[in-house]
């Protein structure tokens, strides 16, 4: 299969869908909606939604509910980037080659745009008009997965650990805990949400969860490597910022080559979790490979 | 009925319940959970949860699901206070007589504690173990009400309008729009969520929604009046801050006495919406009166 084509096609589907559920810039409060749109349509690769779609496809032909469910993950991801970039947090001026949200709209609006995107994710997942292909019990389960992946024991918890680790001597197990929460839990939620849309069996959900954990780790290690070796043009933001901030990453512990090897091992392990799945899981397999091979 | 006793009893029930669902300060990340608890247990009156409980009681004996549903509203309310107090927003140092969250834990942690409380509200409402007295379709509906009340066209939207109005000449209809969103929409959601827990009919839901809109307006006008006439001791924060900030409020347009009269009219109208309800709606009736009579 052609993974680039698959990624491009799904990204467009997600973008088109997101366009239909975010209020226009003419809708009051106009600046809030402009600010939400600014970051949501800033060129994200939609990895989390695509993982959800691919997981749903691996189990069976997904219902139409997959697009809103998948897109809710991008709302969460976008809010987390806006808040992470704030002066009180990572204090970043650029993201994906564009000024960060608070540099354009100010801190107050950036905080509120993040809050609104986070809330909108749950509003979207709780719509019956868009998710009527799902039974309500599965819909509740999906919402719960999203909340757990994003919350205090998930992504937000990981961001707290990350902030607390800056300029400190941390060991490898702390680094693993940071990543498992900060990026891992939402990727895990993405795959599980997709699987639940397609009514995965308990065994399928179990295998896909293990896939997600390995793929999530590969994704984060690859991200750390890119931060070291990527150029400003490729990344759309300043390169090698982790080291400048005294932030410990996988390359700190393993070197760039060691980290690359580790990422490749995680990718192989992720793919091996899909043994019981047929060709419908090929997009998931290719996604795991893409995650470590990408240049931005 | 004795409304003080009712309020005290329900407040304790909500507090006891919240205690069971917020991780202890020994749970990692410990500072995050400490920060979440600091603001959640800072002496809030639990008005929104109690409105939800009273609405559920007005319709019929509520299921055990009412306590988690009601408590989720306090998680949302608490997050909104933490974020509103931030330097980039209202820049308040005190709230309910205690230092604000960011003054104790720093801005980064305050932003994340708010994000985590917001997410936890949806995690709570999507739990099946605690809400198994509800059918899943109603559970989805409740989650949707919460998201709409809290989101870009609800509470967050109102906060945006409020910030944009500071130090500007606004007219009465703008003031009304600010309040209808900033406080009104979550109070409306509270009452509707409680009604849905008790499987309200469409007609009951309609009447209760009108009650909530009137009571919410009374609540906000009373709040504006208190900001002018309350003392620092009563409010637990600096008094008369609205005027100092050049913020237009109901007393700006109507004077203190005029605003008081308006609040009393809203209260009467709220109570009149409950004509078709029997004595089980007395707590809602008394709550509407309490809202305008309170001193903090």
- What residue segments make up the domains of chain A, in order of their start? 3-293
| pLDDT tens for each residue of B204-253 | 999 999 999 999 999 999 999 998 887 666 666 666 777 777 788 999 99
Tell me whether the omega of the peptide bond preceding residue A29 falls within 30 degrees of 0, making it cis: yes
Both structure tokens of A121: 């994710």
Distance CA A93, CA A30 (A): 23
The ipTM is: 0.96
Rg value, chain B, Cα? 18
| pLDDT tens for each residue of A263-284 | 999 999 999 999 999 999 999 9
The tally of CA atoms less than 13 A away on the side-chain side of residue A26 is: 0
A232: confidence class by pLDDT, cuts 50, 70, 90: low
Question: Residue A218: pLDDT above 80?
Answer: yes
List, as ranges, residues 120-149 from B with C-beta within 8 Å of A.
Answer: 120, 122-123, 125-128, 135-137, 139-141, 143-144, 146-148
Q: Do residues B48 and B216 touch, judged by C-beta distance below 8 A?
A: no
Residues A248-258 have a mean pLDDT of 92
Distance CA A157, CA A152 (A): 5
**pLDDT score recorded for residue A234:** 65
To the nearest whole percent, how much of chain B has pLDDT over 90? Answer: 86
- CATH architecture for residues A3-293: Orthogonal Bundle (1.10)
A81, A82, A108, A177, best to mutate vs chain B, most B CBs in 10 Å: A108
**Which of A126, A148, A152 shows the shortest C-beta gap to B143?**
A126
| pLDDT tens for each residue of B35-68 | 999 999 999 999 999 999 999 999 999 999 999 9
| pLDDT tens for each residue of B268-288 | 999 999 999 999 999 999 999
Separation in Å, CA of A161 to nearest CA in chain B: 7
**pLDDT score recorded for residue B238:** 64
Residue A132: phi, psi to the nearest 5?
-75, -5
List, as ranges, residues 146-165 from B with C-beta within 8 Å of A.
Answer: 146-148, 150-153, 156-157, 159-161, 163-164
Measured between beta carbons, the chain B residues lying within 8 angstroms of A136 are: 135-137, 139-140
Question: Residue A38: pLDDT above 90?
Answer: yes
Neighbours of A289 (CB within 10 A): 17
Residues A195-213 have a mean pLDDT of 98
Residues A41-67 have a mean pLDDT of 96
Distance CA A178, CA A155 (A): 9
**pLDDT score recorded for residue A248:** 85
Task: Give the three-state DSSP class for B231.
Answer: coil
Q: What is the DSSP string of B2-44?
A: -HHHHHHHHHHHHHHHHHHHSPPTTSSSHHHHHHHHHHHTS--
Helix, strand, coil % over all residues of chain A, rounded to 5: 70, 0, 25
Interchain CB contact of B75 with A (< 8 Å)? no
């Amino acid at each position: 299969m052609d993974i680039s084509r698959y990624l491009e096609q799904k990204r467009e589907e997600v973008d088109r869908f997101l366009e239909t559920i975010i209020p226009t810039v003419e809708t009051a409060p106009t600046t809030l909606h402009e600010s939400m749109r600014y970051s949501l349509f800033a060129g994200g690769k939609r990895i989390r939604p695509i993982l959800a779609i691919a997981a749903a496809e691996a189990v069976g032909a997904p219902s139409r509910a997959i697009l809103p469910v998948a897109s809710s993950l991008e709302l969460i991801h976008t809010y987390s980037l806006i808040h992470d970039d704030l002066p009180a947090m990572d204090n970043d001026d650029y993201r994906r080659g564009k000024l960060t949200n608070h540099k354009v709209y100010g801190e107050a609006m950036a905080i509120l745009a993040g809050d609104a995107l986070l809330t909108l994710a749950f509003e979207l997942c709780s719509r019956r008009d868009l998710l009527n292909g799902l039974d309500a019990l599965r819909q509740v389960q999906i919402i719960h997965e999203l909340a757990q992946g994003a919350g205090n024991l998930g992504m937000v918890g990981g961001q707290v650990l990350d902030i607390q680790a800056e300029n400190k001597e941390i060991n490898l197990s702390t680094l693993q805990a940071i990543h498992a929460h900060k990026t891992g839990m939402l990727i895990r939620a993405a795959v599980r949400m997709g699987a639940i849309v397609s009514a995965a069996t308990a065994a399928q959900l179990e295998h896909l969860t293990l896939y997600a954990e390995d793929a999530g780790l590969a994704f984060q290690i690859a991200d750390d490597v890119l931060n070291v070796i990527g150029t400003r043009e490729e990344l759309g933001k300043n390169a090698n910022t982790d080291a400048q901030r005294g932030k410990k990453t996988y390359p700190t512990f393993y070197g760039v080559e060691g980290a690359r090897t580790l990422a490749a091992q995680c990718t192989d392990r992720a793919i091996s979790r899909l043994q019981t799945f047929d060709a419908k899981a090929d997009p998931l397999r290719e996604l795991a490979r893409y995650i470590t091979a990408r240049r931005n």
